[in-house]
């Protein structure tokens, strides 16, 4: 179309037909395309040795690119000019007119380089930077992240980039709080790795954004919705979807579950879906405590099949203590399943103030978590949220906000 306006999305997170990590970005892209007149063009960044070709998923064409982003985030930001030039060449090859680009939506701080490259050629372009976790400057990522010289260099480059961006997009209130509190910890921060990271950059200047908004990760309610006639379960099933990592804190969940089984609630089952480095430790704990047979293990499934899993649950619990948002909580709720999470984490902002003591737990407090699960087992309380979660509603509101950028 001769007057077509482009909305460019550049992200390291995007699902493929083989892997569904990043489905929330796919949902966001589809919603922007549904609710606007923009031609949304997606670029997924890959490692130099990743040979994945361009592909189409759920009607969205994904262009895979392999820019010279520093490996393991070493001196992250040093190649901004090269990355920008490379991206301009890619856009030219695809016959995308720079003068018709309105927004370059960059997921994560280091991807802002793509937007700045376009803005140098078309100053009218607005550079949007979105953050997905509680380390918005990505200072904890990478093989040499703990090297003081590397972390401080990366912090300086990130602060500069974020102050230049036209809009900063946070997926939750805690992510926004972490960004605005930098270089100090946000309220409620307990993760030792994050606290140590901030100690190294405590003398750095704060970030002063031009404009900052919250755009929660929404749910496609055409896929995730309650059953009209729920199946009556013979057991009380507690579910959890998360990669097995330290910060997801499966240990607190299985410790609470162990207390409940030992207390005599043998009609409970714990249903786990995920993989990762702490799974072996969790399996060992379950066997040592004689509760392995009360646990069900599930393999990864395509995103659109997750409702089948949620519909099998009575309660969803993920006691992660470093969680920017966690789409799984809201997906479970959209399917008619209440959730429990840790206080001061992303999904906690959705819980009504009057119900916070019923659904939120302090980090690592497995005894209190067990009490809350037991209460829900006995009472089957209905959960009420205080924010919208339908992705179309959220994106329509977001598109209105973009007009003020």
pLDDT digits (tens, 9 = 90+) for 330-383: 999 999 999 999 999 999 999 999 999 999 999 999 999 999 999 999 999 999
How far is the C-alpha of 186 from the C-alpha of 370, rounded, in Å?
27
- Reported confidence tier of residue 2, pLDDT bands at 50, 70, 90: low
HSE toward the beta carbon, residue 73, CA cutoff 13 A: 24
Q: What is the predicted pLDDT for the residue at 1? A: 53
User: Which tokens sit at 125?
Assistant: 């372009």
Of residues 204 and 84, the one with the higher pLDDT is: 204
CA distance 236 to 221: 25
65 in Cβ contact with 96 (< 8 Å)? no
pTM for this model (two decimals): 0.93
Average pLDDT, integer, range 209-218: 97
Confidence band (pLDDT; 50, 70, 90) for 252? Answer: very high
Q: Return the pLDDT at 18.
A: 80
Spatial separation of the C-alpha atoms in residues 29 and 9, rounded to whole Å: 8
Question: Which among 333, 336, 380, 339 has a CA at the least distance from the CA of 359?
Answer: 339
| CB 317, CB 239: distance < 8 Å | yes
- 110, pLDDT greater than 60: yes
Least confident of 180-194, 230-244, 307-321: 230-244
């Amino acid at each position: 179309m001769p007057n077509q306006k482009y909305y460019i999305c550049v992200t390291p997170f995007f699902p493929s037909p083989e892997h569904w990590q990043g489905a929330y970005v796919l949902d966001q892209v589809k919603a922007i395309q549904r609710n606007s007149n923009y031609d949304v063009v997606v670029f997924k960044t890959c490692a130099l040795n990743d040979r994945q070709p361009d592909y189409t998923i759920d009607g969205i064409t994904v262009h895979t690119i392999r820019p010279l982003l520093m490996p393991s985030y070493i001196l992250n930001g040093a190649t901004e000019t090269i990355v920008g030039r490379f991206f301009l060449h890619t856009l030219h090859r695809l016959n995308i007119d720079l003068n018709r680009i309105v927004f370059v939506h960059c997921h994560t701080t280091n991807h802002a380089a793509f937007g700045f490259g376009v803005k140098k050629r078309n100053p009218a372009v607005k550079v949007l930077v979105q953050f997905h976790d509680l380390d918005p400057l990505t200072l904890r990522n990478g093989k040499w992240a703990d090297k003081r010289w590397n972390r401080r260099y990366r912090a300086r480059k990130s602060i500069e980039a974020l102050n230049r961006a036209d809009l900063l997009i946070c997926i939750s209130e805690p992510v926004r709080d972490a960004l605005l509190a930098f270089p100090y910890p946000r309220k409620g921060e307990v993760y030792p790795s994050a606290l140590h990271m901030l100690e190294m950059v405590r003398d750095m200047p704060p970030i002063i954004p031009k404009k900052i908004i919250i755009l929660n990760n929404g749910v496609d309610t055409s896929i995730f919705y309650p059953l009209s006639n729920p199946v009556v379960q013979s057991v009380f099933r507690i579910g959890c979807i998360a990669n097995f990592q330290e910060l997801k804190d499966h240990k607190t969940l299985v410790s609470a579950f162990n207390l409940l089984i030992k207390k005599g609630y043998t009609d409970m089952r714990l249903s786990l879906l995920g993989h990762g480095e702490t799974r072996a430790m969790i399996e060992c704990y379950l066997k040592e405590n004689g509760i392995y047979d009360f646990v069900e293990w599930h393999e990864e499934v395509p995103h659109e099949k997750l409702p089948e899993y949620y519909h099998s649950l009575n309660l969803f619990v993920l006691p992660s203590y470093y969680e920017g948002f966690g789409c799984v909580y809201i997906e479970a709720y959209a399917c008619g399943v209440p959730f429990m999470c840790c206080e001061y984490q992303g999904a906690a902002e959705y819980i009504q103030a009057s119900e916070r003591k019923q659904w939120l737990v302090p980090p690592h407090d497995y005894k209190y978590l067990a009490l809350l699960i037991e209460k829900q087992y006995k009472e089957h309380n209905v959960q009420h949220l205080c924010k919208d979660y339908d992705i179309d509603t959220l994106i329509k509101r977001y598109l209105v906000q973009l007009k003020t950028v």
